[in-house]
Amino acid sequence: MPAATTLGVTVMGVNNRVTQSTIFNTGRSGIRLDSGSDQIDHNRIYNIGLLTTDFGAIYTFGIDGAGSQIDYNIISNVHSGGFGAAGSISTTIRPTTSCIHNVVYDADFALKMNPDSIDNRIYNNTLIGTQASVASSFGADMREAFSRTISLAAPQPLVRAQRRRTTWTHPS
């Protein structure tokens, strides 16, 4: 396998669970989801994407999340040139994927959504991005529900995002 596509874990099929793992020093993404109805929880992911520029700590593209849950993960040290690195998820997951109680810090983008990422639930996360805390790529239509999420960098404009009890602060 070429080093630039080297992943920590690839999830295929449905109803899988990746839990209590430490994933680090990968060539590309930490966890790649190629399926739906999965549970990704209680993982520590750091120092990923050492050989490429288009990746995420937890990465999906063009799938139906079908109720997948990405919960209680700690993600850090996610940086690259090019597209920029996404800490939490760089995704086109739809519909009804939950991203709850994750902590992402020291990442180019703590949460990055690809087009069109809709109807996901982003609740109770701490997102600290060095370029942006929450971002969309290519002008993605992000119809997400954000609630009780703490963001410590200015988010990119969110198109039609619902924000309830969400704190957006810019460090001074």
The pLDDT tens digits for 78-111 are 888 776 666 665 554 455 678 889 999 998 888 8
Contacts of 56 (CB under 8 A, 6+ apart): 29, 30, 78, 85, 86, 87, 88, 89, 90, 91, 112
Residue 71 CA neighbour count, 13 Å, CB half: 11
In order along its 172 residues, the chain shows pLDDT tens digits of: 444 457 889 888 889 999 999 999 998 889 988 888 899 999 999 998 888 887 889 987 777 778 889 999 999 998 887 766 666 655 544 556 788 899 999 988 888 877 666 677 788 888 888 887 777 766 555 666 666 667 666 555 544 455 555 555 544 4
Q: At 123, phi and psi to the nearest 5?
A: -125, 140
The pLDDT value recorded for residue 3 is 45
What tokens appear for 100 in the block?
Answer: 């709850």
The pLDDT value recorded for residue 144 is 64
Enter the pTM of the model. Answer: 0.81
The pLDDT value recorded for residue 171 is 46
The pLDDT value recorded for residue 96 is 67
